[in-house]
Structure 1
Amino acid sequence: MEQISTIDMRSMGFNSDWNFAFVASKGASGGILVAWDTVLSLWSFVPFREVFFLGRIKSDARPMFRSLIGGDFNEVLDSRDRLGGQRITVGMRTFADFIAINELADLPLGGSSFTWARGSNRSRLDRFLLSGDWLAAISEVYQQALPHSVSDHCPILLSPKMESWGTPPFRFELAWLENPLLEAQLVRWWSECVFTGPSDVVIGKKLRFIKGKLKAWAKEQKEIALGRKRILEDRLMEIHLLADSGSASAEDLEQQGRFIQEHKELRRNRIESLEVEGVVVSDRERIIEETIAFYRSLYSADGIVRPIPQDICFSSLSLEAFAGLEIPFSEEEIRIALFSLAQDKAPGPDGFCLAFFQTCWETVKSDLVRFFLEFFEGALLDKGTGATFLVLIPKVDGASKVSDFCPISLVGSLYKVLAKVLADRI
């Protein structure tokens, strides 16, 4: 489009409270529309080629420029921003240097990993970059990739508001075990807490006790890690300068690649918005309501008559195999099942991955064996042992509808081991 009018904006759902700025397209490239709510903020937009510069020129103490730059930069920041991208280019390094020198922040992108698509090519070319003063003024801000329309670039929503979905659940990080001192701490914490009751309840209480200890420990380690990261970032900048001058060694470049892989940007694992009947909704309660309604309808089977299989002969167990099912569980049987499971299987409500139990096997094995013996003797499982997280996993990149997600169940670590032992025996 060569121009956008107020009438066009109204037709897209923007009322009179919204102002906008527009840069017309040039042939097949360019063309940007930015809209903002004038009731919530007073911003001045200056369109320049394919990027918008935004600044707020108001401060209680003194004039201060809070800057925001957004648009199609026609460059990616690192190899993860391009589908199948591997190597680091000069353009990527220049873009990263520009962000660092101007003290801008690149926010995580929700909704999709990429903002541009053409054929099988995917890249994140569009983004918002914010200054530190801007972030200090509005601490909670995020950018969201919305569904594509007629353009090969998707719209980007920048919002200073974010629905609270509650405190994130605890998760035992596999990387913590790289600390050589942690294993001894875990053994000491497990041994010093003594509880009574059914074995699964006791194990649950011990895990909650260790969870509290780990939160305090992780906070201390994070402060130490931040100091180390700053040193590495300074070293990375030196390597960038050496690479630009052509004097970087193979060891320097290897260190650079290792740093980028180890410090990948964490993305928010939550659904910020959903497309419902062609309209994008971001209200938390509406998202929950639509999700529940969709799966309730999907898994309902009212009035369906299912066929009953007849005249089917199933193979039966021999007397020897049948007797083997009733043998009490052994310590070795439990150990083999536990160590055959992946260390990093997604944790359930207890927050502990199986790497914790494998690392501390010699310490926790007596409690696990007691749990299996009680289960064999007919003890009922505590409701907390069988508690489950239902998680929606995107089936496609840029998932925007409920049907684009697949529900999976995340059970607790104790239940995982029990299910594996039973499966192996059968």
Structure 2
Amino acid sequence: MVHLLCKLKSTKQALKVWNRDSLRNIFSQIKATSARVDRLEQESITSPTMTILSNLDSERRSLLKAHIREIKLLNGTTTDDQAQIKAAAVEFFKGLFASEEVASLADFLSPIPSLISVEDNAYLMTQLTLEEVKSAVSAILVDGAPDPYEFFGSFFSACWSIIGEDLHHAVKFLFQGGNIPRAFSSSLLFLILKIPVPRSFSDFRPISLCNCIYKVFSKVIAARLSSILLRIVSAEQMAFVQGRSIANNISLV
């Protein structure tokens, strides 16, 4: 696991140098474009000429970046300070997703019958193969949420011959009960508008985008469980089970 993390980090550093030397540092260009948009927005207020408005529209299109300009804080005040907006976002969603300490689940699980046989358990616990991990990599979206070092699924697919063995060992380590590094278990939080003009963070619907390495691990587990899923999931559960449809319950009603 540490070996994979170090390799990804080194690769990212090398790509940063390549980006700076070959692409004129695209991140600096984005930052400069954002500054031009801010300047043009101020000019469009003081002297809204057609030229300024046209330039503003052009810069906004080139930026292609969602940006929260103003937000209502939990104390009822409104701010356009970016540092305060970032801090407020962390505070709001940290409270929203905070978990409470849960008591022992033994009493809740005891009435549930044991449906997994010794043979099933032996199959589920067998060592992961390289092909299983490769199939999981092929199943994730090539442009989905990246890993902690900003590598997308397309990177792992295209560079499988180089990184496949390292990824296999990392996923196998997790499968055997190893602790998932925080970098791999973290997710990107994407905010979807609930209303056209949001005033507070409660006007956004948060969606967690798990990084691709976490998705690979999840898909490997899902593939293992798929062979016994129909036997361990109640027949009354129709949705989200392959071969069943929620429409069957509607038809029965």
Q: TM-score range by the shorter chain?
A: 0.5 to 0.7
Q: What does residue 270 of structure 1 align with?
A: 67
In 2: Cα distance, 1:359 partner to 1:408 partner? 27
Contact 1:354 1:413 in 2 (8 A): yes
Q: What amino acid sits opposite 2:127 in the alignment? A: P
Contact 1:391 1:407 in 2 (8 A): yes
| Residues 401 and 375 (structure 1), Cα distance of their counterparts in 2 relative to 1, 3 Å cut | closer
Deviations 1:191-230 (A, max 9, x none): xxxxxxxxx211111111111222232345535x9xxxxx
Q: What does residue 82 of structure 2 align with?
A: 284
Q: Structure 1 unaligned segments of length 5 or more: list them.
A: 1-199, 226-263, 303-307
How far is the alpha carbon of 1:300 from its aligned partner?
A: 6.6
Q: What does residue 340 of structure 1 align with?
A: 139
| Residues 215 and 398 (structure 1), Cα distance of their counterparts in 2 relative to 1, 3 Å cut | farther
Contact 1:350 1:412 in 2 (8 A): no
Structure 1 residues 380-419: aligned runs within 5 Å: 380-419=179-218
TM-score calculated relative to the size of structure 1: 0.37
Higher strand share: 1
How far is the alpha carbon of 1:281 from its aligned partner?
A: 1.4
Q: What amino acid sits opposite 2:85 in the alignment? A: I
| Residues 396 and 357 (structure 1), Cα distance of their counterparts in 2 relative to 1, 3 Å cut | farther
SS of 1:349 mapped into structure 2: coil
Q: What does residue 218 of structure 1 align with?
A: 19
Q: What amino acid sits opposite 2:222 in the alignment? A: A
Structure 1 residues 169-318: aligned runs within 5 Å: 200-222=1-23, 265-276=62-73, 280-295=78-93, 298=96, 313=112, 316-318=115-117
SS of 1:407 mapped into structure 2: strand
Q: What does residue 110 of structure 1 align with?
A: none
SS of 2:199 mapped into structure 1: coil
How far is the alpha carbon of 1:348 from its aligned partner?
A: 4.2
Contact 2:187 2:210 in 1 (8 A): yes
Q: What amino acid sits opposite 1:364 in the alignment? A: I
Q: Which protein shows a greater Rg?
A: 1
CA RMSD of aligned residues (A): 3.5
Contact 2:145 2:212 in 1 (8 A): no
Partner of residue 359 from structure 1, selected from 158, 172, 175: 158
Q: What does residue 327 of structure 1 align with?
A: 126
In 2: Cα distance, 1:376 partner to 1:309 partner? 26
Q: What amino acid sits opposite 2:79 in the alignment? A: V
Contact 2:193 2:205 in 1 (8 A): yes
SS of 1:356 mapped into structure 2: helix
Deviations 1:169-196 (A, max 9, x none): xxxxxxxxxxxxxxxxxxxxxxxxxxxx
In 2: Cα distance, 1:291 partner to 1:364 partner? 36
Greater relative contact order (CA < 8 Å, ≥ 6 in sequence) = 2
Q: Structure 2 unaligned segments of length 5 or more: list them.
A: 27-60, 101-106, 226-253
Q: What amino acid sits opposite 2:120 in the alignment? A: A
Identity of aligned residues (%): 29
SS of 2:72 mapped into structure 1: strand
Partner of residue 167 from structure 2, selected from 337, 360, 368: 368
Aligned length: 185
Deviations 1:363-403 (A, max 9, x none): 11111222233334443344433344444343444333211
In 1: Cα distance, 2:76 partner to 2:176 partner? 55
TM-score calculated relative to the size of structure 2: 0.59
Matched, 1:349 2:148: yes
| Residues 376 and 349 (structure 1), Cα distance of their counterparts in 2 relative to 1, 3 Å cut | closer
Q: What does residue 242 of structure 2 align with?
A: none
Contact 1:387 1:411 in 2 (8 A): yes
Deviations 1:210-264 (A, max 9, x none): 11222232345535x9xxxxxxxxxxxxxxxxxxxxxxxxxxxxxxxxxxxxxx6
SS of 2:184 mapped into structure 1: coil
Deviations 1:403-426 (A, max 9, x none): 122233344432221122112212
Q: What amino acid sits opposite 1:211 in the alignment? A: K
Structure 1 residues 93-104: aligned runs within 5 Å: none
In 1: Cα distance, 2:98 partner to 2:185 partner? 24
| Residues 402 and 340 (structure 1), Cα distance of their counterparts in 2 relative to 1, 3 Å cut | same
Q: 353-362 or 384-393, which moves further after superposition? A: 384-393
